[in-house]
């Protein structure tokens, strides 16, 4: 049941979203149960009382978030093993591990029905590993390879910035950064997390296959900050807070992270619409930036 993405509602009751693929998956499980001498029933259900659709969706997301967290931890371990990698036999071994992680991520994505948090972080970690492996290969090549020109940072003004619906800390902070320091008139669009095809004038952020998203163990805010060339100690402090909240790895150990996390959760609970979350979030990050930017008063003598 877990392998096809089903979640347990009550004893012996498992649920999947109702579509053609999930019906087929349940049909195969049903066949196996019957052939094994058990009993099973597949039904099309509508929740009336006890659990809401929102609560069921939360169960699916919680299960997939746990899968992503476990994969990210394994990927972080592998990323550490790629540091200073040179031996050819070691490269082969780590590439095999990387391939297994990619396959595992693809399987999780297949059963991530509602766009759970963690996919972008997992994809970014694997991207970081791939970059390290490519770097190690290039060092062993006799022919120098010219780095590809990155055109993503060009022409950022006047674009429509697209991200997943249900914005939280990284997407809120990134949108604030864009509007505050990149394009004050930036327009935003909030879309479903799967199968979105961008228009020519759109730039995606903090979503799968986005132009700006997680890279290695860096969250989207950190990536935007670096690639936009914004060197500001106050912004760096905010980047560290967003990282600690979003990736949950305690990398920077920012003491402010707990408070900011609670404030983000509060505004998310208070505002269902992403536009309202962004408005409230911008005020939060404006105040946070002002706090870090404030100069210490000179000591009088």
Residues with Cβ < 8 Å from 56, sequence gap 6 or more?
A: 7, 9, 15, 47
* pLDDT level of residue 212 (50, 70, 90 thresholds): very high
What share of the chain has pLDDT > 90, as a percent?
A: 56
Tell me how long the chain is.
Answer: 301
pTM assigned to the model: 0.70
**What is the arithmetic mean of pLDDT over 177-198?**
92
Residues 33-68 as b/e (b if ≥16 CB within 10 A, e otherwise) read: eeeeeeeeeeeeeeeeeeeeeeebeeebbebbeebb
- Would you state the pLDDT for residue 45? 84
From first CA to last CA, the distance across the chain in angstroms is: 72
Mean pLDDT of the chain: 86
Both tokens of 290, joined, read 């002002």
* pLDDT level of residue 152 (50, 70, 90 thresholds): very low
Closest by alpha carbon to 261, among 164, 170, 135, 142? 170
Q: Which of 17-31, 167-181, 249-263 has the lowest mean pLDDT?
A: 17-31
Predicted confidence (pLDDT) at residue 72 exceeds the cutoff of 50: yes
pLDDT tens readout for residues 238-276: 999 999 999 888 899 999 999 999 999 999 999 999 999
- Would you state the pLDDT for residue 138? 55
**What is the arithmetic mean of pLDDT over 28-34?**
88
Q: Are 241 and 256 in contact (CB under 8 A)?
A: yes
């Amino acid at each position: 049941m877990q392998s096809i993405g089903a979640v347990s509602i009550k004893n012996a009751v498992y649920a999947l979203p109702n579509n053609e693929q999930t019906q087929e998956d349940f049909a195969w499980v049903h066949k196996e149960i019957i052939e094994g001498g058990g009993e099973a029933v597949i039904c099309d259900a509508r929740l009336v009382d006890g659990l809401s659709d929102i609560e069921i969706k939360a169960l699916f997301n919680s299960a997939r978030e746990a899968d992503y967290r476990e994969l990210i931890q394994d990927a972080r371990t592998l990323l550490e093993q790629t540091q200073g990698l040179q031996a050819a036999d070691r490269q082969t071994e780590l590439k095999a591990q990387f391939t297994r992680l990619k396959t595992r991520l693809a399987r999780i994505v297949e059963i991530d029905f509602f766009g759970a948090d963690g996919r972008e972080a997992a994809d970014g970690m694997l991207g970081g590993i791939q970059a390290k492996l490519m770097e190690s290969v290039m060092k062993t090549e006799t022919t120098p390879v010219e780095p590809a020109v990155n055109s993503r940072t060009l022409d950022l003004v006047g674009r429509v910035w697209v991200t997943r619906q249900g914005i939280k800390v990284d997407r809120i902070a990134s949108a604030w950064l864009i509007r505050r320091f990149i394009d004050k008139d930036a327009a935003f669009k909030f879309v479903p997390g799967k199968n979105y095809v961008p228009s020519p004038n759109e730039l995606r952020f903090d979503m799968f296959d986005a132009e700006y998203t997680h890279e290695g163990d860096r969250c989207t805010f950190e990536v935007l900050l670096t690639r936009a060339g914004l060197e500001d100690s106050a912004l760096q402090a905010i980047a560290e807070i967003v990282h600690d909240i979003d990736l949950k790895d305690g990398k920077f150990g920012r003491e402010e992270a707990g408070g900011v996390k609670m404030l983000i959760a509060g505004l998310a609970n208070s505002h269902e619409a992403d536009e309202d979350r962004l408005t409230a979030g911008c005020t939060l990050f404006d105040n946070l930036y002002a706090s870090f930017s404030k100069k210490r008063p000179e000591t009088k003598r």
